[in-house]
Chains A and B, each alone.
Chain A
Amino acid sequence: MRCVIIGNGASGTHAMLSLLTHTPQTEVILVTDDEPFFYSRPEITRLIEDPTALKHLEMPLPGEVQRKLKLVHQHVEGIDPRQGKVYLGNHEPLSYDTLILSTGAEPKPVTVIGVPKERILTLRTARDALRIASFLKDARQPVVLGGGLIGLKVAHTLTLMGMPPRVVVSSPRILSRTLDTESASKIQALFEAHGVTFHLGITLKSADWDGKKRQGILRTKRRDKIPFDILLVGKGVSPRVKLARNAGLLIENGGIAVSESMETSFPHHYATGDCASIFNHETGRYENRPIWPVAAESGRVAGEAAAGKLISGRRFSTPVPRNAIPFFSVPVVSMGTVTGDTLKVTSYESANGSVRRTFFFNEGKLSGATLIGDITHAGLLFEAIRRETRLRKLPDWLLQGIPSLAGGTPPMEVLFS
């Protein structure tokens, strides 16, 4: 059997690993137009700081896998699911028995009237990060567009480099989809203490650009003026579905529609990671969740399904949103649904204000949590959110993050009995 995987991100890599583990005799061909090796995408902000760090981002693969894998460094122009063919630039088409699409996502294009195109930089690949690094060499006033996790990650990196940026956010607050209002303002204060300036609730109108001085001024609807010399975009992404759409695969909610075993509308064609919308039988909807753990898990599931080895205990677990990220050594965790007017909120803040733990309930069931400064029991909480556990009263040890006597998290039965 020959399996072609398009994309070597988290999901493509995990699909390849699980396929080769379960059926070592399969011929696996991985096609990518990114770097011809495996690296961690969330870590690319490190390249902005230190362009030589690329080798540290490389993820190690077992020697066995390295020997068996065939890597083709090409852009895929099209696929033909009926004939089982993948068309590469100026190469012979590749034929396959099974195809796994792991084409990921790409940043939504951003244009600001008046700003030259090359001064608006997006961040998705190692190459993008290196490009930003080269532009930053003679930049003085970087501006980050977007107050989400990626925007803040970029702002964090720039601050560590001694170049705290201005962050322009269209919503009235930062992290509007990840954190509740109070927790977000805590993180905002943390960034401000390190010299970052926030411009919230901004709609950009246009910009004046001085080509000689290589400086410009952003103009907003509220008539603010924000000076800049480079714009770094850290906004949302859209799934890369061009190949699938042209081939006639079903698209739902922006991504390639897949079942819980990652199968698309064509048999023997799978889609994984950021480019897929996974069917959630609890909500009855297709959900596109562009985060790493979903990408990695869906890749593993697709690999096992393609190998014919997917058993019920190893199916895709959940597309529930979650993320963890440390800012200036303060750990931040967000899990489940944390915004919405109908949610009931319980929160705890430590006396010195360094810790804030907020819990969200929907009709008595735990639906989400945000933890700042102290992430004790995060794993148990995520499991409780995933299972929509009904809690009559939130125990103090969970609220305040008190470790059990033995020093860790109490056994799960405590919550789920």
Chain B
Amino acid sequence: MREIFFIPDRCLPGCNACQMACVGEHLKNKGVLSPLAGLPFPKKVRSQPAENTIKTPRPHPVRCLHCDPPRCVEACLSGSLIKNPEDGRVGNNVEQCIGCFMCVVHCPFGAIIPLPSEQISIKCDGCLWSKAPACVRACPTGALIFVEPQTYNEKLKMKDRFRKRKIQPAKLLPARV
């Protein structure tokens, strides 16, 4: 299964394109401009199709390991957390979420953020409902990449070997997905 990796030395401080893209991706109209313009975001992303505005922006962390078996999915009281059988990405169908926070207790990595006031919990869903993660697609420098862990490990090893030869390590990793 492909995963998102972060290469800090490629990241432009203050760029935040990934965060914007993430918010945009989780809006009904997928508009990247609404977060930029400071427009209110939709309250429950997929629950109110008629209304695409919410009051507070929500954080979208890139921490979920999309475990197998996923403890959060087994703990979910409402069946809103699901693991995509095809590519293994774990996502939260917030429409169904009741905000019980059993998932928060069961994720050992703290990948799920409880929002008590909204009565939902949110997590990185790997953009389950689209082809590739929006944050990766948005990153202008390739600091976020979406590859098989094996590929990443191989490249890292190469990076280690080439470090001594003073070759720019970042060049060895795939520039884009």
Contact between chains at A322 and B105 (CB < 8 Å): yes
Chain A window 376-410, contacts with chain B (Cβ cutoff 8 Å), 1 for yes, 0 for no = 01111011000000000000000000000011111
Contact between chains at B74 and A325 (CB < 8 Å): no
Complex CA gap A412/B67 in Å reads: 15
A residues 266-296 touching B (CB-CB < 8 Å): 292-293, 296
Contact between chains at B110 and A377 (CB < 8 Å): yes
Minimum Cβ distance to chain A for residue B45 (Å): 17
Taking CB atoms, residues of chain B closer than 8 Å to A353 are none
Taking CB atoms, residues of chain B closer than 8 Å to A406 are 61
Contact between chains at B77 and A331 (CB < 8 Å): no
Contact between chains at B78 and A40 (CB < 8 Å): yes
Contact between chains at A331 and B114 (CB < 8 Å): yes
| A317 on interface, CB distance cutoff 8 Å | yes
Contact between chains at A293 and B78 (CB < 8 Å): no
Taking CB atoms, residues of chain A closer than 8 Å to B174 are none
**Apart from A325-B101, A408-B111, 6 more pairs, CB < 8 Å:** A292-B102, A324-B101, A329-B116, A333-B101, A379-B109, A380-B108
Contact between chains at A300 and B74 (CB < 8 Å): yes
Complex CA gap A408/B110 in Å reads: 7
Contact between chains at B116 and A43 (CB < 8 Å): no
Q: Which of A38, A293, A330 touches B106 (beta carbons < 8 Å)? A: A293
- Given the contacts A326-B116, A408-B111, A331 and B102 also touching, CB distance less than 8 Å: no
Taking CB atoms, residues of chain A closer than 8 Å to B61 are 406-408
Minimum Cβ distance to chain A for residue B177 (Å): 23
Contact between chains at B85 and A296 (CB < 8 Å): no
- Given the contacts A59-B79, A60-B79, A408-B113, A378 and B101 also touching, CB distance less than 8 Å: yes
A residues 28-71 touching B (CB-CB < 8 Å): 38, 40, 42-43, 56, 59-60, 62
Closest 7 CB pairs of A and B: A409-B110, A59-B79, A383-B108, A293-B75, A379-B107, A296-B74, A324-B101
Complex CA gap A326/B75 in Å reads: 15
Contact between chains at B112 and A379 (CB < 8 Å): yes
| B170 on interface, CB distance cutoff 8 Å | no
Contact between chains at A21 and B85 (CB < 8 Å): yes
Contact between chains at A314 and B69 (CB < 8 Å): yes
- Given the contacts A43-B98, A314-B69, A329-B119, A379 and B108 also touching, CB distance less than 8 Å: yes
Taking CB atoms, residues of chain A closer than 8 Å to B149 are none
A residues 130-183 touching B (CB-CB < 8 Å): none
| B104 on interface, CB distance cutoff 8 Å | yes
Report which B residues bind A (CB closer than 8 A).
Answer: 59, 61, 63, 69, 71, 74-75, 77-79, 85, 96, 98-102, 104-114, 116-117, 119
Contact between chains at B59 and A407 (CB < 8 Å): yes
- Given the contacts A324-B100, A380-B110, A300 and B105 also touching, CB distance less than 8 Å: no
Taking CB atoms, residues of chain B closer than 8 Å to A300 are 69, 74
Complex CA gap A85/B111 in Å reads: 45
Minimum Cβ distance to chain B for residue A336 (Å): 11
- Given the contacts A14-B74, A314-B69, A407-B61, A379 and B105 also touching, CB distance less than 8 Å: yes
Chain A window 55-91, contacts with chain B (Cβ cutoff 8 Å), 1 for yes, 0 for no = 0100110100000000000000000000000000000
Taking CB atoms, residues of chain A closer than 8 Å to B119 are 326, 329
Contact between chains at B104 and A59 (CB < 8 Å): no
10 pairs, CB–CB < 8 Å, chain A vs chain B: A325-B100, A329-B116, A331-B114, A333-B101, A378-B104, A379-B104, A382-B108, A407-B61, A408-B110, A409-B110
Taking CB atoms, residues of chain A closer than 8 Å to B69 are 297, 300, 314
Taking CB atoms, residues of chain A closer than 8 Å to B71 are 293, 297, 317
Minimum Cβ distance to chain A for residue B71 (Å): 7
Minimum Cβ distance to chain B for residue A83 (Å): 34
Complex CA gap A333/B104 in Å reads: 10
Taking CB atoms, residues of chain A closer than 8 Å to B111 are 379, 408
| A257 on interface, CB distance cutoff 8 Å | no
Complex CA gap A213/B91 in Å reads: 53
Taking CB atoms, residues of chain B closer than 8 Å to A120 are none
Complex CA gap A400/B116 in Å reads: 18
Contact between chains at B102 and A324 (CB < 8 Å): yes
Q: Which of B77, B104, B110 touches A43 (beta carbons < 8 Å)? A: B77
| A335 on interface, CB distance cutoff 8 Å | yes
Taking CB atoms, residues of chain B closer than 8 Å to A42 are 77, 100
A residues 352-381 touching B (CB-CB < 8 Å): 375, 377-380
Whose C-beta in chain B lies nearest to the C-beta of A58?
B79
Taking CB atoms, residues of chain A closer than 8 Å to B78 are 40, 43, 59
Chain A window 302-337, contacts with chain B (Cβ cutoff 8 Å), 1 for yes, 0 for no = 000000000000100100001111100111010100
